[in-house]
Chains A and B, each alone.
Chain A
Amino acid sequence: MAIKKNKECYFCANDIEVDYKDTRSLRKFVNFYVKILPGKRTGVCAWHQRKLAEAVKRSRIMALMSHTHR
């Protein structure tokens, strides 16, 4: 498994906000089984990691993202 190489937070570095509709970028922060990865692995700062977890859950509710991989 890849270990984070970027020390900089993805959202801080690119100056974008976490959006539950943007599944393309959210996919980067979940594993194959669509489980949310820990901040240690994602390299996202703590503030954004909290927003990220919320966003993934929201997008799961709206069926934009699955709860699990079949």
Chain B
Amino acid sequence: MFIVPNKYTEVEAKTIIGRVEKMIMDGNGQIVSGEYWGKKKMAYEIKHNAYGYYQLYQFDFPGESLIKLNNDLRLSTEILRHQILKIKVKSEEQLAKEQAARDRLIAKEEEAKEAATKFIKKATPHKKKAEDKTELKDLDKKLDGIIENTKDLV
């Protein structure tokens, strides 16, 4: 993964990314997959750049020339920061499975959040209807459901 600083336009950033791609190819590497994240706000400023273009590559690369690639990337003034990591090779099935698990978790969280907001909204009319026993039971049932949902959040 590497970051191209915001001082370049999107088009220029693309050409820089192409140059890095060439760098990988020159070192007898093979790009397996790439992911362009686009312009993104960074968590903190790096060399007075608040935004950066993120590009992620997964590639096979011979170990001997990795030092050279790392040095080239480090010396290049066009790249803000980079990181080369060794990762496990995963099948597409595994990747899809993990992504699905992640998505499920996000959906769950959002559901819980919604339930929590509903809970607050319902809490106010609850006091007025306190006399009505039948309605109270219904409310209790609903509350139980909501509480169960929010348990996942914790």
CA–CA, A64 and B46, complex, Å: 12
In contact, A65 and B105 (Cβ under 8 angstroms):
no
Which one of A5, A61, A66 lies within 8 Å of B83 (CB-CB)?
Answer: A61
In contact, A63 and B105 (Cβ under 8 angstroms):
no
In contact, B98 and A67 (Cβ under 8 angstroms):
no
In contact, A24 and B83 (Cβ under 8 angstroms):
no
Q: Assuming A2-B154, A5-B154, A14-B105, is B3 touching A62 (CB within 8 A)? A: yes
Interface flag for A31 (CB, 8 Å)? no
Interface residues of B (CB under 8 A from A): 1, 3, 42-44, 46, 52, 54, 56, 81, 83, 85, 97-98, 101-102, 105-106, 154
- 18 sampled A-B residue pairs with Cβ under 8 A: A5-B154, A6-B154, A15-B98, A16-B98, A16-B101, A16-B105, A21-B1, A24-B106, A25-B102, A25-B105, A60-B43, A62-B83, A63-B44, A63-B46, A64-B42, A64-B43, A66-B43, A67-B44
